[in-house]
Amino acid sequence: MSATIIDGKAYAAALRIRIAAGVADFAEATGRRPGLAVVLVGEDPASSVYVRSKGKATEAAGMIGIEHRLPADTSQADLLALVAALNTDATIDGILVQLPLPEPIDEAAVIQAIDPDKDVDGFHPVNAGRLATGLPGFVPCTPLGCLMLLKDTLGDLAGRDAVVIGRSNIVGKPMAALLTQASCTVTVAHSRSRDLPGIVGRADIVVAAVGRAKMVKGDWLKPGATVIDVGINRTEAGLVGDVDFDAALAVAGAITPVPGGVGPMTIAVLLRNTLVSAARRDGHPLDAASL
């Protein structure tokens, strides 16, 4: 029996339709459109492609997208000055500074300079603290997208054993916090975990976010487990995830492909967070749970 393929591309497309409808309602009620500012420093090829994708998606959702493309030798002071200006710009609801930043810019200092209430990436320490304590805030886009796919696939997650492989601030830690809030029993595994196959083998839910091609083997998985593969690794054979997809397909109950799984969710959730920010800032009623 083969696992069900979790179609992140289809889910993201449906989410973007709901967001566009919410944007239209917001614009009609307030007389303005939500605004997202994206800042790109330097010419990193992958970042440039991603920023272009964000711009197209923002426009398609009916939002205002503003791009600030700065040369690689931009000083940290100049970048912080731009962030400060965007913080006070009433037309901007979301600020995203594309990572990685060129050296010697201090990424942490730049992230901390963003107004937490415009931090639609969810990376600011204030938003990390809000997530950890269950307060309303912005959650990083990739883990929130993973949670949406899990709930769509499994329904109620309460009581399930979940393993998150990876402990980054961008995916691993917030993913573990979201699963904890969903009443899962959560284990965070990483490069120093002992008996990783044994840990994974007990899990009903496996979220792999380590950046190592095909690290999670099919025979590690509990039969019927739901597998969310966050990894995007470029190999000679093309893009592959952190999970050995072909081997996992014969064991898992459901699994995300790479590409076409988690990836499309990230930009869709960014748009969702921007709409939520606009609604909060204008006091516009919005049922965020429906997005």
pLDDT at 45: 85
Cis peptide bond N-terminal to 100, omega within 30: yes
- Residue 43 structural domain: 30-117
Bridge partners of 182, per DSSP, are none
Give the three-class secondary structure for 160. Answer: coil
With a cut of 50, list the residues of the chain below it in pLDDT: none
Instruction: For residues 158 and 246, state if they share a domain.
Output: yes
Location of structure tokens 């999970």 = 243
pLDDT tens profile 142-175: 999 999 999 999 999 999 999 999 999 999 999 9
* Position 242 in a domain: yes
What single DSSP character describes residue 243?
B
Instruction: For residues 104 and 152, state if they share a domain.
Output: no
Catalytic, out of 98, 117, 119, 214: 98
Instruction: For residues 106 and 179, state if they share a domain.
Output: no
Q: Which amino acid is at 192?
A: R
Question: Phi/psi at 228 (nearest 5 deg)?
Answer: -110, 115
* Position 45 in a domain: yes
Q: CATH code at 208?
A: 3.40.50.720
Q: Note if 54 is an active site residue.
A: yes
Instruction: For residues 146 and 256, state if they share a domain.
Output: yes
Give the three-class secondary structure for 198. Answer: helix
Write out the DSSP string of 82-132: HHHHHHT-TT--EEEEPSSPPTT--HHHHHHHS-GGG-TT--SHHHHHHHH
What single DSSP character describes residue 218?
G
What single DSSP character describes residue 22?
H
User: How many structural domains are present in the chain?
Assistant: 2
Write down how long the chain is.
Answer: 291
Give the E-state strand segments of the chain in sequence order. 4-5, 35-41, 64-70, 94-97, 161-165, 185-189, 205-208, 226-229, 233-235, 238-240, 254-255
Q: What whole-number distance in Å separates Cα of residue 90 and Cα of residue 108?
A: 25
Instruction: For residues 93 and 155, state if they share a domain.
Output: no
Instruction: For residues 166 and 258, state if they share a domain.
Output: yes
Q: What whole-number distance in Å separates Cα of residue 91 and Cα of residue 193?
A: 46
pLDDT tens profile 226-248: 999 999 998 888 889 999 999 99
Catalytic, out of 54, 118, 173, 214: 54
Structure tokens at 176: 């573990």
How many C-alpha atoms does 247 have within 13 Å on its Cβ side? 14
Catalytic, out of 93, 121, 242, 244: 121
pLDDT at 191: 82
pLDDT at 1: 65
Look over the chain and give the mean of its residue pLDDT values, rounded to a whole number.
Answer: 96
* Position 123 in a domain: no
Residue where one domain finishes, among candidates 50, 85, 117: 117
* pTM metric for this prediction: 0.95
* Position 23 in a domain: no
Q: Note if 121 is an active site residue.
A: yes
pLDDT at 134: 92
Residue 210's nearest CA partner among 270, 261, 153, 170 is: 170
Q: CATH code at 50?
A: 3.40.50.10860
